Amino acid sequence: PSFPLSWILGRAADIFLLPPFWLHRILGWPRYYVTVRPLRAMVLQSFTVCFWIQIQNRGSQTVLSYSTPERDNELVVTVGSDVGLWVGGHFINFFLHHRSEEWLHYCVSWTSHSGTADLWINGAVGREKSIQKGYATQAGGTLVLGKDRDNLLGIFSNRFIGWMSHVNLWNKVLSHADIRALALCKHNELRGDVIGWGETPMSVSGGVVLETDSSCH
């Protein structure tokens, strides 16, 4: 079954807990996005963000965006012909050698100690890159799924069009074994301590739709 969240929550969109057996379908209209209340302050010296997505558009799309009053791109992850990562206003990208409209599992990790960033797709790791060695992300910002801050201000490039599920964010770098297990749907009980899918309060703007989750099967 599917139904519009705006119908359930009303136009103001109350805070709710997303059950783990539902997913967001974000249709790409300018005002469709999900605001997240992280479980802890977004002061991160390391992180891993993992998610399942099925996208319908090959252009660059924002999966997760964290912005502060001082900086739009404090922490942003985009997908498309490549996977883009912003940390503290600096940008790197991981080129993709294949494209798919099927469900794919992504994990992106980063650690301040070495500046190392890695991308995993379906449990396989690619070539590591380096960004923002010695940095820590700043508190006091806004965390959003499906849009970046420019979009919220009225510029609607990079909006997410497709399905999104099991979005989790940890304040550490997960082990290779944990990431492979997540990609094989063997560790669904492993939830993030910053964003925990099914545990983190979220609020919805626009007509984001909930559907039965088919990402892990």
Pair 133, 181: CB distance under 8 Å: no
* Distance, CA of 167 to CA of 36 (rounded, Å): 11
H or E element that contains 150 = helix 149-152
Strand partners, 23: 211
pLDDT of residue 56: 72
Task: Report if residue 107 sits inside a domain.
Answer: yes
**Strands 75-79 and 82-87, sheet pairing:** antiparallel
Burial of 82 (0-12, 13-18, 19+ CB in 10 A): middle
Query: Tokens in use for 111?
Result: 């650690």
For the chain, the domain total comes to 1
Task: Report if residue 10 sits inside a domain.
Answer: yes
Task: Report if residue 76 sits inside a domain.
Answer: yes
Q: pTM of the prediction?
A: 0.85
pLDDT of residue 26: 56
Domain that holds residue 142: 2-212
Q: What is the CATH number of the domain that holds 15?
A: 2.60.120.200
Mean pLDDT by 10 residues, the chain (217 residues): 32 39 52 85 98 82 92 93 95 85 92 98 93 97 83 55 89 96 85 91 74 72
* Distance, CA of 53 to CA of 62 (rounded, Å): 11
- CA-based nearest residue to 50, from 101, 98, 119: 119
Task: Report if residue 217 sits inside a domain.
Answer: no
Residue 151 region by backbone torsions, left for phi larger than 0, else alpha for psi between -120 and 50, else beta: alpha
Task: Report if residue 119 sits inside a domain.
Answer: yes
pLDDT of residue 154: 45
Provide the Cα torsion 154, 71, 79, 106; round to 10°.
Answer: -130
Strand partners, 130: 116
